[in-house]
Amino acid sequence: MESVLYSSSFQTPAFSSQSTFHSNKFLCTPTTPVLPLPHIAKSRFEPLSCTMSHSAEADTKPKEIKLWGGRFEESVTDIVEKFTESISFDKQLYKHDIMGSKAHASMLAQQGLISLSDKDSILKGLDEIERSIEAGEFVWRTDREDVHMNIEAALTDMVGEPAKKLHTARSRNDQVSTDFRLWCRDAIDWIVASIRNLQVALVKLALKNEGLIIPGYTHLQRAQPVLLQHLLLAFVEQLDRDAGRLLDCKARLNFSPLGACALAGTGLPIDRFMTSNALGFTAPLRNSIDAVSDRDFVLEFLSANSIIAVHLSRIGEEWVLWASEEFGFITPSDSVSTGSSIMPQKKNPDPMELVRGKSARVIGDLVTLLTLCKGLPLAYNRDLQEDKEPAFDSVKTVIGMLEVSAEFAQNITFNDERIRKALPAGYLDATTLADYLGIPFRTSHDIVGRSVALCVFKNCQLQDLSLEDMRSLSPVFDNDVYEFLGVENAVNKFSSYGSTGLACVADQLGYWVSKLEINKS
């Protein structure tokens, strides 16, 4: 469950032209995440407060020549510019773009491709740009298309000629793939932290309801008695696999595209291993075409998010049902409920209904990206500009779902009396009675089935049948049969590993209390 968050604060080391690069401390500092992380997660998705240039005055000025505009004799039309810009959403990548540019500039200087003085000017300018973005002073310009061109053009305006050297041995193709991998890596850490918070909330809810037995369901029909703790821990187990999938995804995406350039690499003497190490990647990607053209790392990420969303949707469905008058198993507090605009008596578990509903949105983000990628020839295509918004939305939505589910779990009460009154219905102890007989199971299954039919006829429970009634169905029944009947006795008979028996669930609970470092006091 441990993860590494890469900080966005940098310290620039002084490199001589002869020095060998060994450290990545100026770019990424491993830290242990402090939970919860609502501010970190939230801030990545709020619109940046920096302004966008759309003024009438700006419209009357001659258009700025594009950084790629050397072979063109005409400017793009306003409609094309508006349609092709991505700065309205990819500015979320600014920290990661600056991080990559710092690594690239330092490598260029180390390899003698730019001077140390140029490198220092670039790094200082990038620091100032990052400061101005975070202060809300930076002006994002749609005519500069995307986050990369906005930052590079602003850097050129600020430091002049040295900034024009920054794009040496780099294309926007490898640049955006690098930025996006860095962003996904951080986003995985935010989600894993939110998963852990929900796991803690569920385990604490289980600790508060020790010994409470509820009906277990299959086909939405009553099946066997289970401990509530056992059911809540089932959700915890699912969430743990969700976190594992994300961390597996993180390990696979943590390879650097930087230096792959447009698609074929470069003939300049760059050091891709240096930039990879500086950015905390495992290694550079081996194939430059693959590095710039594939988005399988995002597909895998959004697939993992979709599974999380499905798990959360199932929790939402369970709790929405349990909050209904028909079940009445839980009562959400007013702080996590909403009312009706016309029916004054209503108290609705809306947060969990929306968790259930928003799962469709997360799955839709995955389907969007799968459809986007399915027909693309190698290598890079502009279609891939459309990969950001589904990913941003998926992460924002999943974190919101996790956070509100944890909030809901901390603000519900299980109605013990209502649950206990509901337990006798459904012959939940029938399977335990079949185990009691100790004869070939198909034979015992038939005997207990006829016992249930007798109960239906007499309008009673299995434990209400007389021994004489039971022996009329099988001579195997004896006085000790009543030790197996009733939901409490049935639960006490479960003993297999992972089962709902008291001792088994206590072991499971102890495991999670220890793993999640929960203070029970």
Q: Which domains does the chain have, with CATH numbers?
A: 83-168 (1.10.275.10), 173-267+285-420 (1.20.200.10), 424-516 (1.10.40.30)
What is the mean predicted confidence (pLDDT) over 232-251?
A: 98
Percent of the chain with pLDDT over 90: 79
Active site residue 43: no
- The span from the CA of 145 to the CA of 63, in Å, is 13
421-439 pLDDT, tens digit each: 999 999 999 999 999 999 9
Say which DSSP state 348 is in: B
pLDDT of residue 73: 65
In this predicted structure, the answer to whether residue 35 has a pLDDT above a threshold of 50 is: no
Q: Which of 41, 351, 404 is nearest to 198 (CA)?
A: 404
* Residue in this structure with the two tokens 């409490």, named with its chain if needed: 488
pLDDT of residue 27: 36
Q: Which of 147, 371, 382, 376 is nearest to 262 (CA)?
A: 382
pLDDT of residue 63: 65
pLDDT of residue 520: 80
- Under the banding of pLDDT at 50, 70 and 90, the label for residue 113 is very high
User: If 0-12 CB within 10 Å is exposed, 13-18 middle and 19+ buried, where does residue 169 land?
Assistant: buried
* pTM score: 0.86
pLDDT of residue 67: 62
Active site residue 340: yes
Task: Give the lowest-confidence range in 47-61, 81-95, 462-476, 485-499.
Answer: 47-61
pLDDT of residue 40: 38
Task: Give the lowest-confidence range in 53-62, 120-129, 405-414, 483-492.
Answer: 53-62
pLDDT of residue 23: 36
Task: Give the lowest-confidence range in 3-17, 153-167, 440-454.
Answer: 3-17
182-216 pLDDT, tens digit each: 999 999 999 999 999 999 999 999 999 999 999 99
In this predicted structure, the answer to whether residue 43 has a pLDDT above a threshold of 50 is: no
Say which DSSP state 49 is in: S
Q: What is the mean pLDDT of the chain?
A: 88
Percent of the chain with pLDDT over 70: 86
| Run of H or E residues at 356 | helix 350-373
- The span from the CA of 192 to the CA of 39, in Å, is 15
From the list 219, 341, 496, 514, the catalytic residue is 219
Cβ 437 vs Cβ 475: under 8 Å: no
261-277 pLDDT, tens digit each: 999 999 999 999 999 99
pLDDT of residue 71: 65
In this predicted structure, the answer to whether residue 347 has a pLDDT above a threshold of 80 is: yes
Instruction: Report which residue type is found at 8.
Output: S
Task: Give the lowest-confidence range in 65-69, 120-124, 251-255, 456-460.
Answer: 65-69
Classify each residue of 422-433 as buried b or exposed e, where b means 16 or more C-beta atoms within 10 Å of its C-beta. bbbebbbbbbbb
From the list 7, 55, 340, 466, the catalytic residue is 340
Q: Give the sign of the dihedral formed by CA 405, CA 406, CA 409, CA 410.
A: negative
In this predicted structure, the answer to whether residue 70 has a pLDDT above a threshold of 90 is: no
Reported residue count of the chain is 521
pLDDT of residue 72: 61
